Amino acid sequence: MSETGEEFDLLAIETLKSRYLQEGEKDWEDVCKRVAKAIALNRGEYTEFLDIILSKAFIPSSPTLMNAGTPSGQLSACFVIPVEDGIEKIFDSVKTAALIQKTGGGTGFNFSKIRPDGSVTVSGVGTASGPVALMRLFNEATEIVKHFGKRRGANMGILDISHNDIISFIRAKRTEGVLSNFNISVMLTDSFMSLADEGRMDEVWNTETGTKIGEIFSEIVEGIWRNGEPGVLFYDHINRDNFTPALGDISATNPCGEEPLLPFESCNLGSINLSILVEEGKVNRDSLREAVRKAVRFLDNEIDVNVYPVPEIEKATKKTRKIGLGVMGFHDMLLKLGLPYDSEEALRLAEKLMGQINRAAIRESEKLAAEKGPFPEYENSIWEFPVRNATLTAIAPTGTISILAGCSAGIEPVFSWVYRRARIAGKEFMLVHPLFETHFKQKLSKPDYNRLLEHVYAHGTLQDITDSKIVSEEEKGLFRSALDINWKTHIDIQAAFQRHCHAGISKTINMPVDAGKEDIGKALIYAWKQGLKGLTIYRTGSRQHVVLNLKKR
């Protein structure tokens, strides 16, 4: 295998060119200047925003990088669009979604108000086709809109566990390639999960259809085992953190599940790069607090300078002024600190870091409320003191912005130290993780280093290498990648961050190819008990088309 560490820089350059550079722009600095100028309200803010983005200590989400300072001006990543029963209302939702996706935003829908397949339509004439058929309409609309923007359109389709069509919904993506523009998730309640946890699988859940707890639960497990879908969302956990309950319950999220929102709400996302906060073997917490301060002001400013796709979205968004500040580079931070991802120290650090980020974000939002006023629905919220933003923190997957930052994605463990990445500008890249490369290149001869790369590329792990001169036991402990880590640890890390996060978290719970359905069932119940708001499980090899992959065999 040839040396490929430089491919990371090439990947970042290609990502920048294909997605973010506007006419006349040459490099990252030009993008940062355009974005900072568009978001800042004065010269001081411009300097602060430019510094934090240019240094890659904080990077806003893709729609902001693409659209700030352009005629589009649409800056939000996350939207939830209500879907009401009735042909006119349905097509209104399709149109709104198309306007959002054209500008790079992602849309979430709960289809539970749509009548079940075969029931009488709202007009009383004919029969309803049901939520799954309707999702095909939304999927095709997204397919068309793809051709009008730089960013692939994405949807989240959600159905409540009590809907009569829940089984057909769970099976909707069982064939790979169907509804390719949708992630789908089942909205689960505490009452359903309690019955499943107690083993009461023969109990009837839906008296209209006669469907039992065990039938639904096993269908969810089967779908996840087959190809990673559906995901699950936990309704009661989400609504326990509904900071504005007077505006209604939350029943939908954005496409990756980290941002539960009310109908027509949008949210601006951005992520702090944890990997660059390690200095001399320690986390620079002063730099972390300063990054949070600037990021909160940046994201709050976006709400006012944003160009909204439709008036309903502007109205709903400005009522609550929700922002989603998250993190990326967590695994890289652990590597620099010499901490294995699956260690107790990593768990403690995760909770401590997110607690500090959340507190610092709240403090800055409190200052903004004193300067500019709290969010309009503050009096009807559960906040005990005035803040500018109803919610402040959410952890996104950071797919492309972590490429720009040169760090690991979100709070995910590194997928593999050597892998292929597809779907960037229609190209495929072979990547070696920079920290892995630096460590082993210094230690090993060139032939040994290349053999190590070949092994990891083929197997996705270095845990089975027996030659201690190539990889020591200590190195095996530190360089554990996604599939080396037990699913419980994946969930524990997500739960540690979730305990100090207002919204939700996008994270994949990786399982090996030989993981059984029993493991998946246990993981669903364990995640619910740990207080997660949602869960995505992926069993390696269960899909043919994936973004990250190992050597073709």
Q: What is the per-residue pLDDT across 272-284, written as a single tens digit (0 to 9) for each?
A: 999 999 999 999 9
pLDDT score of 5: 46
Rounded to whole angstroms, the Cα distance separating 417 from 89 reads 48
Residues whose CB is less than 8 angstroms from the CB of residue 340 and which lie 6 or more positions away in sequence, other chains included: 334, 346, 477, 478, 480
Residue 66 forms part of a structural domain: no
pLDDT score of 381: 98
pLDDT score of 26: 96
Q: Are residues 417 and 485 in the same domain?
A: yes
Residues whose CB is less than 8 angstroms from the CB of residue 353 and which lie 6 or more positions away in sequence, other chains included: 274, 283, 288, 327, 330
The structure tokens listed for 199 are 């083993």
Rounded to whole angstroms, the Cα distance separating 350 from 330 reads 8
Per annotation, catalytic residue among 258, 265, 302, 437: 258
Find the helix or strand (DSSP H, E) in which 510 lies: strand 508-511
- What's the structural domain count of the chain? 3
* Nearest to 409, CA basis, from 333, 296, 492: 333
The pLDDT of residue 549 is above 80: no
Q: Are residues 131 and 232 in the same domain?
A: yes
Contact yes or no for 76/63 (Cβ under 8 A): yes
The pLDDT of residue 553 is above 90: no
258 is catalytic: yes
Choose one of 200, 226, 253: the last residue of a domain.
Answer: 253
Q: What burial letters (b/e) apply to 151-172, b meaning 16+ CB within 10 Å?
A: bebbbbbbbbbbbbbbbbbbbb
Place of tokens 């029931």: 119
Q: Are residues 96 and 206 in the same domain?
A: yes
pLDDT score of 70: 97
pLDDT tens digits, one per residue of 93-105: 999 999 999 999 9
Mean residue pLDDT of the chain comes to 94
Q: What burial letters (b/e) apply to 119-135, b meaning 16+ CB within 10 Å?
A: eeeeeeeeebbbbbebb
Q: Are residues 109 and 163 in the same domain?
A: yes
pLDDT score of 509: 98
Per annotation, catalytic residue among 254, 306, 389, 510: 254
**Stretch 397-418: mean pLDDT:** 95
Per annotation, catalytic residue among 32, 78, 256, 267: 256
Q: Are residues 206 and 273 in the same domain?
A: no
* Nearest to 205, CA basis, from 219, 215, 190, 218: 215
The structure tokens listed for 16 are 């920048």
Q: What residue type is assigned to position 347 of the chain?
A: L
- Domain assignment of residue 369, given as a range: 9-59+267-404
Contact yes or no for 317/105 (Cβ under 8 A): no
Q: Are residues 394 and 420 in the same domain?
A: no
Measured in whole angstroms, the distance separating CA 139 from the mean position of its chain's CA atoms is: 20
pLDDT tens digits, one per residue of 225-255: 999 999 999 999 999 999 999 999 999 999 9
280 or 8, greater pLDDT:
280
pLDDT tens digits, one per residue of 10-64: 888 989 999 999 999 999 999 999 999 999 999 999 999 999 999 999 999 999 9
CATH code, domain with 247: 3.20.70.20
Based on C-alpha coordinates, what's the Rg of the chain? 23
pLDDT score of 528: 98
256 is catalytic: yes
84 is catalytic: no
